[in-house]
Amino acid sequence: MKRKYSQEEVEQLMNGRIYINPDDLNIFVKRGMCAWTINLGNKWAWVIITIWAVFILLISLIWF
């Protein structure tokens, strides 16, 4: 069942710096005091990553 996980559950499931949990509905999850990471198990996270990558590519092609 998909649901939003609490901060304690995220900390228990996080392995290093990568967070992959397809059952967690959160796209961004807090990692530590002031850091955030993206849930790579969420399909919308991949949409955001793709948009960021295309934006960076377009900026670099136009600027340079």
Euclidean distance between CA atoms 56 and 51, whole angstroms: 9
pLDDT exceeds 70 at position 4: yes
Q: What is the pTM of this model?
A: 0.73
What per-residue confidence (pLDDT) applies to 61? 94
User: Is residue 13 within 8 Å of residue 37, measured between CB atoms?
Assistant: no
Structural domain of 35: 7-63
Q: Confirm whether 1 is domain-assigned.
A: no
Is 2 inside any structural domain?
no
**For the chain, how are helix, strand and coil distributed in percent, rounded to 5?**
45, 20, 35
Mind listing the pLDDT tens digit for each residue in 48-60? 999 999 999 999 9
Whole-number pLDDT of residue 15: 66
What's the pLDDT score for residue 16?
66
**What domain count does the chain have?**
1
Is residue 29 situated within a structural domain?
yes
In a domain, 47, yes or no: yes
- pLDDT digits over 22-41, tens only? 988 999 988 777 888 899 99
The helix or strand, by DSSP H or E, that contains position 56, with its residue range, turns out to be helix 43-63
